[in-house]
């Protein structure tokens, strides 16, 4: 089973594709979709749509997983990220791919065993779990791989759409 994990954003969207076979998980691809700082917001959303659609076309994932929006102090940023997530959900829906969302604490608990783990701990465990020589870069890609790995552990239990 192929899983496309997405760490949403509007300037940078991390992605990671893994394949799960039994209890084995291996990395297929990872990276980041970077939108132009000079692009207006609708153009950024279009770039995200185009690139996520391309990733789906190339890798043909069976499932997708995305991180939930974390709202802290910047309400405007949370709304913009939510709009970017909407584009990602649209890509999944138009390709008939089930998509599940996970809170950051759930991802950290699945990867490190502690929902309060630091980002560096999560990145190190992603490297170990996938047998990589280095922590995946950029940071957004490492986060996306963590989301995909989390989903691979929760295939039977997590809420899905479709």
Q: Count the alpha carbons within 13 Å of 101 in the hemisphere toward its beta carbon.
A: 13
Q: Which helix or strand (DSSP H or E) is residue 102 part of?
A: strand 99-102
Tokens standing for 64? 């997708």
Contacts of 78 (CB under 8 A, 6+ apart): 69, 70, 71, 72
Which residues carry out catalysis? Answer: 7, 67, 140
Distances (CA, A) of 41 to 91, 112, 162: 18, 35, 28
Answer yes or no: are the C-beta atoms of 64 and 92 closer than 8 Å: yes
Beta-strand ranges (E) seen in 8-77 are 12-21, 24-34, 63-67
Strand order in the sheet with 12-21: 24-34, 12-21, 2-7, 63-67, 99-102
């Amino acid at each position: 089973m192929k899983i496309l994990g997405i760490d949403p954003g509007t300037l940078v969207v991390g992605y990671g594709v893994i394949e799960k076979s039994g209890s084995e998980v291996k990395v297929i691809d990872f990276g980041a979709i970077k939108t132009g700082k000079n692009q207006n917001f609708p153009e950024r959303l279009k770039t995200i749509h185009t690139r996520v659609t391309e990733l789906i076309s190339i890798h043909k994932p069976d499932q997708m997983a995305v991180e939930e929006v974390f709202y802290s102090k910047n309400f405007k940023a949370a709304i913009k990220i939510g709009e970017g997530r909407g584009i990602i959900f649209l890509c999944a829906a138009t390709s008939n791919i089930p998509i599940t969302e996970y809170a950051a604490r759930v991802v950290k608990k699945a990867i490190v065993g502690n929902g309060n783990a630091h980002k560096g701990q999560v990145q190190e465990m992603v490297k170990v779990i996938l047998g990589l020589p280095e922590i995946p870069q950029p940071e957004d890609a490492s986060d996306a791989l963590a989301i995909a790995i989390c989903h691979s552990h929760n295939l039977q239990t997590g809420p899905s759409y479709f």
